[in-house]
Structure 1
Amino acid sequence: MDDLPKCTVCQQQFTLKGPAPYLLPCLHTVCETCVTSAAGGVISCSTCQREVNLTDTALQKDAVRQKEIFHLTVKHRPTELLCTHEDDGNEAVCWCQDCEEFLCENCQNMHNNFKVTRSHVVQNFADLKLNVSTVPKFCSIHKYDPLYLFDQSCKKIICARCRIEDHADHEVEKVDVAAVTVTKQLEYHKNELTTLQTHQQSYMQRIRQGTEATDKTHVSLKDNITHVFRSLRSQLDQRQKDLLIDLENHTKETKASQHALLVACEEDMKTCTRVLDYINHVLLFASKSDILGLERYAGEMTRTCLDTAVTQTYVAPTAVFNTNSLSNLKAHVSGFGAILTVDMDGKSDVIADRGTQTDDDFMADVEMKHKMDMQELKTKIDSDEKHIQRLTDLTDKLNSQTETLKLRIDEKEAIEKRDATTIDFLLGVAWECDVYMLKPGAADRSFMLKCKPLKYDKDRVNLDYVHINTDGDLVNRKSDTRPAGEGRLKRYWGTCSIVPFLQDGCPQYWEVENRFSLDKPLSGKWLILQVGVCREEERDVYHCIGERPHSYSMSVAHCTEHGGICRVIWKEGECVLHLPDTIPNTAGLSHTLHYGVVYDDARKKIVFIDVKGEKVILTLDNVDSSEPLWPMFGVYNLDNTVSMRLVVGSDISMPEEKKAMILEALS
């Protein structure tokens, strides 16, 4: 069991029933205990010393490690596994892949006899193989709907109902198709890392060969120096010692530099091997749904390996012994000799002293330098040719990928252009939201009422005054759970929708259900709630949008003129309707208000409807729809309790009477 993975922080081995493993961005694994007990919300990987801020990064369970632990436990400690069926405590002997349960012999016999489970894949521990489960998982929201779609925008797996309700505008494809694409990307990462690993091994081999060559050069030069100085008189002894010391120092420096290069390359290779090993584990153990969440980390670490890899070109430095001016050495013995280094370009700092050399000495030096220059030049040419070939291959690969991407873009644009010019586009609207025909038999988008699933923009809620509770309602209470972040509304007491209305010529409808309780009678001009639309630049200029240009809204507020709670409709900053005493201003009473709003960019109209009263409050004409309008939702008055719930999509009741009322208001 020494092969079981360990937590990178506490170094404790993972067990099948122990704390769950979580995956860090560096592809190391940490246990659930260390994650939950991380000091200051920061966890540090003891292997690579990379710190992860858990506030900014949501860790996911390492499904690959979990399955690896499962198979290692079955292989090495099968006697520790107990039957999970009915908690009978018997020793398990097999595993049901469909039920994901351990079974003892008795349960296995019953399992095989039941008609429902007779076809399940049951494997004995001795025959257990690495199989990826093909049993569909079910949605946590819609319990009986299988998860088989992947949302490219949200990066999550969803069911068919999620696709229609919350992910209508997102790019979605089947899990199998998405998994194939990501698997190909992981295979690409694997090939890149394998190639890098091969180059690193070759590079390290060249460094080792250079070290051996340096040792040979050391021996050769030492013998040469000794031979030369033996022919000199006693006056050369001191100089001989000095040069030998220089040689030793030069050799140590050269080998130290080579050792540093070798260590750096070994570290890079360890990282490369670790990432490559993890990708192999992913491809071996991970299911298609697991692969989708792992590619981002694997791709990041692959790019890190490729970007930080040291230069793969290496030429071992060669030292030479300068014997220029040998014929006049006795006259210049105090300054004779030097240990020189041949640099990476094949050049050396050989000092030619032609005036003190014999012809034989000079020609020997020239011949030696010529041979060294030719050898270094050949090495450099070979290295450049390999580099050019590698760049050529990379260019061909990028051109191929660019061409493929261009073809996909052209194909997508052609499909979108074709759909936009056919009646299928109109029918396709019903797929992304609930659609009602206001006029039967009219194949015209201006008579198609879209009930699009609007959503509160949780990232823009003004948390200084309001927040969204656990039921998804907008309530008039300051948030106590988290501070306001960047991009939130600062002045408006509420929030907007995630996206503005599309300008597609279809009337669009949504409703809000409001509840408020009067703990005490209202006084002053206190707003209670507001619903409407406005342009993007007007969303956060004031605490409400009623008195702003390019806005259209209905407000419920206490009115000092009438002494009660009134409804007021605003258009472009002007009050166009004031309905007095809509609601009694009496302490202790609770009220429910249900309003609907229709926005028609083609007819340039906005209709406000009293859903409970089943009547149109007012229709605003000549609405400026030249720019997109954003739905806005506000709740006010901190002394009382006010909440607003969005009623959208299939939750909207649309009887024929209501459709007729909306069509008449738009006519």
Structure 2
Amino acid sequence: MDDFPKCSLCQQQFTLKGPAPYLLPCLHTVCEMCVTSEAGGVISCSICHREVNLTDTALQKDAVRQKEIFHLTIKHRPTELLCTNEDDGNQAVCWCQNCEEALCEYCQNTHNNVKLTRSHVVQNFADMKPTASNIPKFCSIHKYDPLYLFDKSCKKLICARCRIEDHADHEVEEVDVAADSVTKQLEYHKNELTTLQTRYQAYMHTITRGIESTDKTHVSLKENISHVFQSLRSQLDQRQKELLIDLENHTNETKATQNAILTACEEDKKTCTRVLDYINNVLHFASKSDILGVERYAGEMTQTCLDSAMTQTYVVPTAVFNTNSLSNLKAYVSGFGAIVTMDMDGKSDMIADRASQTDDDFMVDVETKHKMDMEELKTKIDSDEKHIESLIKLTDKLNSRIENLKLVIDVKEAIMKRDAKTMDFLLGVAREFDVHMLRLRAVDRSSMLKCITLKYDEDRANLDYVHINTEGNLVNKKSDTRPAGEGRLKKYKGTRSTDPLPKDGCPQYWEVENKVNIHKPLSDNCLILEIGVCREEQKDVSHVMGRRPYSYCMNVSHCSTHGGICREIWKEGKYVQCLPDTLPNTAGLSHTLHYGVVYDGARRKIIFIDVEEKVVVSTLDNVNCSKPQWPTFGVYNTELLTVGMRLVVGSDISMTEEKKAMIVKTLSC
């Protein structure tokens, strides 16, 4: 039972039939009883003391730990496993990977003889090894639909019906692709932690050798000091005692520092080993859906280990006892001797006796040379340490960039394979319409902008006020020849398209280019032109579209409020807003007004764009799209101005990246 994992709070061991394990962000595990008892409160991990607020964090079941407990039960306590096929209480002896059931001897024989299950992979408990299950899970909402997609926005598994209903606008990829990407990231974490663990081992080995070296140095110096002071006992007894005390203190401080560093390294190594073991368990036991749930915690703990890592090598501080010129030091017995640390792997330059010098000159030379040597040594050590640290950081950075580039290449290859599957669909749409993708790598209809091919309905034009000229433009002048015919508009001063807008789930776009010549200054809310959509039953209710129910339009007209020519937005017969200064109200002026219209039935939006000014004029939300809408066009006031409205549709539309970005931003709001 010592092999079974324990709850990090109550320290109770997990069993196959006991409380389920739950995963903490620190990769430790707590039992279901502790999670339930602390619901809504704060859990403090007893191992690493990291606190988790259960109000803000929803813990998930530790599927990796559950499978580890299952395999430990098979190995150490197989008598607890009963047959799950017939639930008859018989002792189980094997496991079917396909059915995920434990079988007794009778059920095993039946299982092997049934045609439907004879090809299943059945393993005896004694031969079982940890393997990841690839049996698909099914949607909790749509009972019989498998969860084979991963929503990167919601961070959850979904089925095909979920993709269509609630996740249509989200970035989705297949579970295999998402799991492969996360597996590569976990392999990267594993390599990083393995390297770090090796560095810890080398560092601790260096410290251990340093402790041994410090002990040997201590013994050696103690003998040396005793020998020296035998010849100087009459003068140096008191100084000997002081130096021995100094030596003991220095040794204790050095060892205390080394032991503290060693203890810290051992703790960091334990953390590194624990995270590495868990990632190994993930890679051994976890399914692809389990991998997706633990990657964030594994990445955080890996980064924590890397951030707390110490340097790769340890420089052993070595104490030396300076015994140069003993004969000359008798005069300086009161200040003779010192325990110093030499950071040069045990090497030091010894100063020879120079009896020919006076005591004062000799001590000055000794002190000067010692200071110079120490300064030079300190400078060299600092420079070498900075250089080594810089090289280590550069190496780690290059390795990280190489791994990241490999991941990017793998992801791009997966995307290219996925995009190839949808190419036939996109080509089929492109043959029929001029289509632009609003989002890269998206293949759903809501991410396509269709430049539809509209035509004026000449048979519906109100010839008392307007007509379609030989160039195909709608002009505000009645027809010289007015052939008889049923169905012509009698009130509305314009016409509509030959067909209503199709309901195919993607945004549709068209433009109108208007040549306007003002003969006389306009006044009293005088209309120039109008564009928009309305229902079939509203096509000829009044002479303007903006006054009708279930109609949505923009008109250009004289505005009494602003005293100039403005753009007005109307929604279902109600005034919405006015944007001033479209063009000067001056006689003899000629101007081109270029507008675009986006109709999105799925998002229930209509967008009016000023193509010349490259701005969105207005966005109408909550548009009633329950019935077909007809694009409608009006031009007005022959006696005051001349208007020629040209349809710009299909491939004639210049769809720039700037225009596309403007449409994408407005639709996403």
Measure, in 2, the Cα distance between the counterparts of 1:437 and 1:331.
103
Letter of the 2:294 partner, please give it. L
Q: Is the 8 A contact 1:138 1:145 kept in 2?
A: yes
Shift, 1:17, TM fit: 1.6
CA offsets, 1:463-494, max 9 Å, x none?
xxxxxxxxxxxxxxxxxxxxxxxxxxxxxxxx
Shift, 1:14, TM fit: 0.9
Letter of the 1:571 partner, please give it. V
Q: Give TM-score scaled by structure 1 length.
A: 0.63
Measure, in 1, the Cα distance between the counterparts of 2:598 and 2:453.
22
Selected match of 1:663 from 627, 630, 651? 630
Shift, 1:361, TM fit: 9.9
Letter of the 2:271 partner, please give it. T
Change (3 A) 1:251 1:349: farther
Measure, in 1, the Cα distance between the counterparts of 2:228 and 2:212.
24
Shift, 1:165, TM fit: 2.1
1:390 matched residue in structure 2:
392
Shift, 1:403, TM fit: 5.8
SS at match of 1:58: coil
CA offsets, 1:58-93, max 9 Å, x none?
111111111111111122222222222343222222
Letter of the 2:129 partner, please give it. K
Letter of the 1:269 partner, please give it. K
Measure, in 1, the Cα distance between the counterparts of 2:104 and 2:283.
31
Shift, 1:248, TM fit: 0.7
Change (3 A) 1:604 1:93: closer
Shift, 1:26, TM fit: 0.5
2:295 matched residue in structure 1:
295
Q: Is the 8 A contact 2:79 2:91 kept in 1?
A: yes
SS at match of 1:147: coil
Selected match of 1:449 from 503, 514, 531? 503
SS at match of 1:246: helix
1:626 matched residue in structure 2:
616
Measure, in 2, the Cα distance between the counterparts of 1:275 and 1:104.
37
Matched, 1:305 2:329: no
Letter of the 2:444 partner, please give it. W
Q: Give the 5 Å matches for 1:117-266.
A: 117-266=117-266
Q: Is the 8 A contact 1:435 1:450 kept in 2?
A: no
Measure, in 1, the Cα distance between the counterparts of 2:447 and 2:194.
51
Change (3 A) 1:314 1:505: farther
Q: Is the 8 A contact 1:438 1:663 kept in 2?
A: no
Shift, 1:47, TM fit: 0.6
Change (3 A) 1:322 1:503: farther
Q: Is the 8 A contact 1:168 1:432 kept in 2?
A: no
SS at match of 2:616: coil
SS at match of 2:157: strand
- Unaligned residue ranges in structure 2 (runs of 5+): 456-497, 512-530, 534-549, 553-566, 580-594, 635-669
Measure, in 1, the Cα distance between the counterparts of 2:64 and 2:239.
67
Q: Is the 8 A contact 2:342 2:348 kept in 1?
A: yes
Q: Is the 8 A contact 2:499 2:630 kept in 1?
A: no
RMSD between aligned residues: 5.1
Q: Which structure is larger by alpha-carbon Rg, 1 or 2?
A: 2
CA offsets, 1:171-229, max 9 Å, x none?
22221122221111111111111111111111111111111221122122212221221
Q: Give the 5 Å matches for 1:305-344.
A: 305-323=305-323, 326-342=326-342
Q: Is the 8 A contact 2:148 2:159 kept in 1?
A: yes
Q: Is the 8 A contact 1:346 1:376 kept in 2?
A: no
Aligned identity (percent) is 61
Change (3 A) 1:332 1:605: closer
Selected match of 2:576 from 559, 564, 571? 571
Shift, 1:347, TM fit: 11
Change (3 A) 1:434 1:212: closer
Change (3 A) 1:251 1:85: same
Letter of the 1:200 partner, please give it. Y
Measure, in 1, the Cα distance between the counterparts of 2:329 and 2:249.
24
Letter of the 2:398 partner, please give it. D
1:479 matched residue in structure 2:
none
Measure, in 2, the Cα distance between the counterparts of 1:316 and 1:149.
56
Shift, 1:663, TM fit: 2.8
Change (3 A) 1:405 1:179: closer
Measure, in 2, the Cα distance between the counterparts of 1:132 and 1:505.
53
Q: Give the 5 Å matches for 1:405-554.
A: 422=430, 426=435, 431-432=444-445, 447-449=501-503, 451=505
The number of residue pairs the alignment matches comes to 507
2:71 matched residue in structure 1:
71
Q: Is the 8 A contact 1:340 1:350 kept in 2?
A: no
CA offsets, 1:572-629, max 9 Å, x none?
399xxxxxxxxxxxxxxxxxxxxxxxxxx9447899xxxxxxxxxxx99979981684
Q: Is the 8 A contact 1:438 1:449 kept in 2?
A: no
CA offsets, 1:304-324, max 9 Å, x none?
000011222321112222346
Measure, in 2, the Cα distance between the counterparts of 1:170 and 1:383.
50
Letter of the 1:209 partner, please give it. R
Change (3 A) 1:113 1:407: closer
Change (3 A) 1:666 1:294: farther
SS at match of 2:46: coil
Measure, in 2, the Cα distance between the counterparts of 1:532 and 1:59.
51
Measure, in 1, the Cα distance between the counterparts of 2:227 and 2:599.
106
1:494 matched residue in structure 2:
none
Q: Give the 5 Å matches for 1:573-612.
A: 602-603=596-597
Measure, in 2, the Cα distance between the counterparts of 1:387 and 1:208.
22
Which one is further off, 146-155 or 359-368? Answer: 359-368
Shift, 1:124, TM fit: 2.6
Shift, 1:235, TM fit: 3.0
Q: Is the 8 A contact 1:6 1:12 kept in 2?
A: yes
Change (3 A) 1:449 1:436: farther
Change (3 A) 1:400 1:623: closer
SS at match of 2:26: coil
Shift, 1:439, TM fit: 9.3
Shift, 1:551, TM fit: 9.0
Letter of the 1:626 partner, please give it. V
Q: Is the 8 A contact 2:596 2:609 kept in 1?
A: no
1:560 matched residue in structure 2:
none
Change (3 A) 1:632 1:349: farther
Q: Is the 8 A contact 1:96 1:120 kept in 2?
A: yes
Change (3 A) 1:269 1:329: same
1:644 matched residue in structure 2:
none
Letter of the 1:431 partner, please give it. D
Shift, 1:342, TM fit: 2.8
Q: Give TM-score scaled by structure 2 length.
A: 0.63
Letter of the 1:449 partner, please give it. K
Q: Is the 8 A contact 1:16 1:73 kept in 2?
A: yes
Shift, 1:553, TM fit: 6.8
Q: Is the 8 A contact 1:268 1:309 kept in 2?
A: yes
Measure, in 1, the Cα distance between the counterparts of 2:509 and 2:162.
24
Which one is further off, 156-165 or 238-247? Answer: 156-165
Shift, 1:292, TM fit: 1.4
Letter of the 2:279 partner, please give it. I
Shift, 1:449, TM fit: 3.3
Letter of the 2:616 partner, please give it. S
Change (3 A) 1:262 1:446: farther
Q: Is the 8 A contact 1:132 1:286 kept in 2?
A: yes
SS at match of 1:269: helix
Measure, in 2, the Cα distance between the counterparts of 1:436 and 1:380.
63
Measure, in 1, the Cα distance between the counterparts of 2:569 and 2:16.
59
Measure, in 1, the Cα distance between the counterparts of 2:67 and 2:532.
48
Q: Is the 8 A contact 2:189 2:299 kept in 1?
A: yes
Shift, 1:367, TM fit: 11
Q: Is the 8 A contact 1:434 1:451 kept in 2?
A: no
